[in-house]
Amino acid sequence: MIWNGTLVFDARGPFLFFIEWHLSLSVLAKKVDAVLNFQKQENRPRVPDMFLNPYSSNTFIGNRFLRGEGGFILFSVTGMQGFVLFSPSHLFTLGLFFAVCLALVLFRERLMPYKNILKWSIFWTLVVCEVSAQSWLILTGQWEIGDLPLHLCSMSSFLAIYIFLKKSVKGFYVLYFIGTLPAILAMVTPEMSYVFPHFHYIEYFLHHSAIPIAALYFILFEGYRVPRKAILFTFLVVNLAAVPIFFFNLLFDTNYFYLASPTESKTILSFFGSGILYYLNLEAAALIVFSITYAPMWQLIKMENRRKLKAIYK
């Protein structure tokens, strides 16, 4: 926004943009339905379907889109399914992610002059992934209230976007713990039915790769570090966020944070039991994952402290 002739960033901007964008699509869909219903009631000559709503399942183009015919195969709802865990394409995708992370570490000094290019490339990847995922669900008629970006990975994505725009040390503490190992585990055992190169496959792995890569960027190029006490801080923040999410799940029959039940596919959450035991195991798992996640940071800080001591006594 503009204030006193100066361009000022409004932190509410991305959220308001998402809401306005989502509402505009909903309003457009309602208007299309109103036109179709009016024409049916008045028995007037129909406007060709392709000019009304090309993504409606009642149109020629929409049917091709949903069935995956012609050029729409990559966006099909029913086509290109049959994902196999640790298949060659899955292993290649994981290998590519770890190769990019390794390259950022090994060539950090050489990449430093291109820091801004890296920053905005990761930033826009996160934004495009969030927007395109929601757009695909809406345009193919799959969107439900359970598809709101309220899962940990989406929250990590929004948090990373915010830190790119406005530095936040405590925000990075949370991002480091919920956006690195959890996102990697989501790629290792994904809730996925589509195969490469389907849109959802590419969007899912690109999105879940960009989140830990963003965290790695902040560590390597922005100098962010995480103290040990941040484990408890993040644990408390996640639990506080889980309270309204829990009641939201009850109210709308959703499963954000997997508080209602484990994932539909077979993952480690499937062995957590049920009832109060399930929640106790979730809490224990969160602490274990956060502790494991902190190990590389602890080693990095330890190594940097040794270098500082050596420099002092030389």
Contact 160, 215 (CB under 8 A): yes
Query: Between the CA of residue 258 and those of 45, 67, 74, 261, what are the distances in Å?
Result: 49, 31, 29, 6
Contact 182, 152 (CB under 8 A): yes
User: What pLDDT shows up at residue 57?
Assistant: 45
Q: Which two tokens stand for residue 250?
A: 């009850």
User: What pLDDT shows up at residue 32?
Assistant: 44
What's the half-sphere exposure (Cβ side, CA atoms, 13 Å) at 95? 7
Q: Considering the domain boundaries, does residue 17 fall inside one?
A: no
Q: Considering the domain boundaries, does residue 158 fall inside one?
A: yes
Q: Which domain holds residue 104?
A: 83-301
User: What pLDDT shows up at residue 310?
Assistant: 81
User: What pLDDT shows up at residue 120?
Assistant: 97
Paired strand residues for 2: 7
What total number of domains does the chain contain?
1
Q: Considering the domain boundaries, does residue 211 fall inside one?
A: yes
Closest to 299 measured CA to CA, from 105, 49, 91: 105
Query: Between the CA of residue 176 and those of 91, 160, 218, what are the distances in Å?
Result: 24, 10, 10
CA 69 to chain centre: 28
Rounded (5°) CA angle 93-144-57:
85
Q: Considering the domain boundaries, does residue 51 fall inside one?
A: no
Q: Considering the domain boundaries, does residue 173 fall inside one?
A: yes
Contact 105, 193 (CB under 8 A): no
Three-state secondary structure of 244-286: HHHHHHHHHCCCHHHCCCCCCCCCHHHHCCCCHHHHHHHHHHH
29-49 pLDDT per residue, tens: 555 455 445 444 444 444 333
User: What pLDDT shows up at residue 61?
Assistant: 46
User: What pLDDT shows up at residue 302?
Assistant: 93
Q: Considering the domain boundaries, does residue 116 fall inside one?
A: yes
- What letters, b where the CB count within 10 A reaches 16 and e where it falls short, cover 209-241? bbbbbbbbbbbbbeebebeeebbeebeebbeeb
Residues of the chain with pLDDT under 70: 1-72, 265-266, 314
Q: Considering the domain boundaries, does residue 49 fall inside one?
A: no
71 DSSP 8-state letter: G
What's the half-sphere exposure (Cβ side, CA atoms, 13 Å) at 248? 17
User: What pLDDT shows up at residue 22?
Assistant: 52
Query: Between the CA of residue 224 and those of 162, 220, 234, 236, 251, what are the distances in Å?
Result: 15, 8, 16, 21, 38
User: What pLDDT shows up at residue 12?
Assistant: 46
Q: Considering the domain boundaries, does residue 156 fall inside one?
A: yes
